[in-house]
Chain A
Amino acid sequence: MFGRFTALQDISMTIGRGEFVTLLGPSGSGKTTFLMILSGFEAPTSGRLTLDGQDMTETPPEARGFGMVFQGYALFPHMTVEENIAFPLKVQGRSAADISCRVKEMVEMVGLGGHGHKRPAGLSGGQQQRVALARALAYAPPVLLLDEPFSALDKNLRGQMQDEMRRIHQETGTTFVFVTHDQEEALALSSRIAIFEKGQLQQIAPPREIYERPANRFVAEFLGDINILPVSGTSIEGRAIRLPDGAGDHLAIRPEYMDLSLSEPGEGNALPVQLRDLTYLGAETRLLLATKAGVPVTLHVPTAKLPEGLAPGAALWTSWEASRGFLL
């Protein structure tokens, strides 16, 4: 199951109490390995893991007291919903009255009232997900680790479960560490996102910061769409451009901050482009453009604001406010 071996390198991260940190990255980037090291199911070859200042690098998973939600939920198939949730409490040796009280509380919290006596096989994917969450949170762990918990759910259900997850995170105040490869999910849920690539931590920052000020080209391109234009001196393809502060020989701008016009705008940064292709997406239309030098530029334009009669080959201008771009 954890046979795929991804080495992690030089990762240093501090996660605050009550945070919701998402580990995001392409498959094989090391995000799951990192989660397994946090859980104790895998051991790092070097480095230290501390909780409240206490070293727990060598602490086995059963002694860490973390909650964990596995991909595929890993419910006990032979136990009912209530028995599943009661299992970690029984392990702790709590009294029967205490257990039944806590189980009832957890069943209500995840909205599974009336399903307590069903087995996992009799539940939908979303309901199984809730059981897994309730079971992992039953003994109020200080940290909850989640390994792609929504990957088996369809898109509508995902949205619902994300809202639910946020509510439960706020209600319990538990620290959540969440692995996903879905960037929308990461942006929607997290207090901070950690981007992994090739076993290295590329950046860790709040969603807005990581989206608007990515630390490097990988992060910029991994999260959402971005246009990247090569800069020479203070000009792009021979046109003088006002550049933002920073260093780097590429200017990056998110498509939603770029405007489209039929003629050269009077002021501001602008580049002549040619329309290559356009894709109708309903409320928006995605335009594929190219600069004179052939650098691709993607734009999302509200379909209602799109000039009529646009066809591939049309000569257009695109412009942006200098402060919206950043150098990479």
Chain B
Amino acid sequence: MPRRNGRGILLTRGGIMLRSRLLLLAPLLMFLALAYLLPFLGVMRWSVTLPEPGLGQYGTALSDPLVLSVIWRTVRICALVTVLAVAAGYMITLLWVRGGPWMRLFVELCILIPFWISVLTRAFGWLAMLSNRGVLNTWGQDLGLLAEPLTLVRNEFGVVIGMVHFLIPFAVFPLASAMRTVDERVLLAARGMGASRARIFWQVFVPMTRSGIFGAMLLVFVFALGFFVTPAILGGGRSVLVAELIWLRIFQSPDWGLAAAISVIMMLAIGLLLMLTMRFAKGTGR
């Protein structure tokens, strides 16, 4: 029950008044304003002032075949990575949430250990694993399974593998929270009605975790769009994604205006995607 104390602060069981909430949020909001909003405003200014004032850089960004092909490749790879990471994450989460105690511990370690290893180390790890003279190819050749080394890195295949590996844990958490809210009795009820395990999984369990699947896909996709290190190393400059393109335009062929315009376009696109997804999530009421 809501109750007012002497100073007019509304105390409820679940919440505190707006003023107190803002106070608690203030340090974070100030940090975000200084570290992200301010610099981003600067980037926006570059996009319309460099090399000369106007929207010319946006015109270039949206018509240049190179920029467009990089954006298209980014969206394509990120979509593929999202599907693969969420699918793999779903299976792992299933073992984590519904497995026996030893399975849970094992999966927990598999999810946590990669978190302790930096993204750079992991990318080089994959390079050592997948390159022409890497572990897989030399073993394959020594065992006579491969006549010639397979090209597993410096292409989109390597980029996808590296990104999926990095992003699986991020898919796991939203999926796990959705799976944990599934009422065990609903599954028992389905079983009691004679439903097979496959039917229970596909027609009951998966739909009941839909919100987690959407959440995981959104998180992974947005995260993947900004990937830099992994595609730069495993793509070897042949499979450039947007973040690397922006970096190249700033540090190699100084073209800050175009880089800024691409950044702003990406930012707007992600904002729009988030808004649409949230509206959709509200619309379905789940």
Contact = CB atoms under 8 A, between A and B. Distances in A.
Interface in B194-246: 194-196, 199, 203-204, 207-208, 210
Interface stretch (A20-28, A69-77, A292-300): A69-77
B186 interface: yes
A40 B189 CA distance: 12
Given A76-B204, A78-B210, A1 B184 contact: yes
B279 interface: no
A87 B190 contact: yes
A58 to B, nearest CB: 16
A272 B55 CA distance: 104
Contacts of A91: 193-196, 199
Contacts of B188: 1, 41, 61, 68, 70, 74
Contacts of A92: 194
Interface string A42-84: 0000000000000000000111111110111011111000000
User: Nearest 7 A-B pairs (CB), nearest first?
Assistant: A88-B193, A74-B185, A74-B189, A78-B207, A70-B185, A68-B192, A74-B186
Contact of B186 (A39, A62, A75): A75
The winner among B186, B193, B194, B196 for most chain A CB atoms within 10 A is B193
Given A76-B208, A87-B203, 7 more contacts: A61-B191, A67-B192, A70-B188, A74-B183, A76-B190, A77-B208, A91-B194
Interface of A is mostly: loop
Contacts of B203: 87
Contact of B194 (A65, A70, A72, A74): A65
11 contacts: A62-B192, A62-B193, A62-B194, A67-B192, A74-B183, A74-B189, A76-B190, A76-B208, A77-B286, A87-B203, A92-B194
A41 B192 contact: yes
A152 interface: no
B210 to A, nearest CB: 7
Contacts of B210: 78
Interface string A80-119: 0000000110011000000000000000000000000000
Interface string A121-152: 10000000000000100010000000000000
Nearest to B187: A74
Nearest to A78: B207
Interface residues of B, number: 21
A88 to B, nearest CB: 4
A166 B165 CA distance: 58
Given A76-B204, A78-B207, A121-B285, A61 B185 contact: no
Nearest to A83: B203
A61 to B, nearest CB: 5
Interface in B151-175: none
B8 to A, nearest CB: 35
Contacts of A65: 194
A198 to B, nearest CB: 26
Interface string B117-131: 000000000000000
Contacts of B286: 77-78
B101 to A, nearest CB: 13
A258 B208 CA distance: 57
Contacts of A87: 190, 193, 195, 203
Interface string B260-286: 000000000000000000000000011
Contacts of B196: 62, 91
A76 B186 contact: yes
B49 to A, nearest CB: 51
A37 to B, nearest CB: 13
A97 B78 CA distance: 44
A121 B286 CA distance: 10
A183 B104 CA distance: 42
A32 to B, nearest CB: 12
B179 to A, nearest CB: 14
A68 B128 CA distance: 56
Contacts of B191: 41, 61-62
A60 to B, nearest CB: 8
Nearest to B183: A74
Interface in A224-264: none
A70 B184 CA distance: 11
Given A77-B208, A78-B210, A66 B184 contact: no
Contacts of B204: 76
A66 B199 CA distance: 19
A78 B207 CA distance: 7
A92 B210 CA distance: 26
A64 B194 CA distance: 8
A139 B208 CA distance: 24
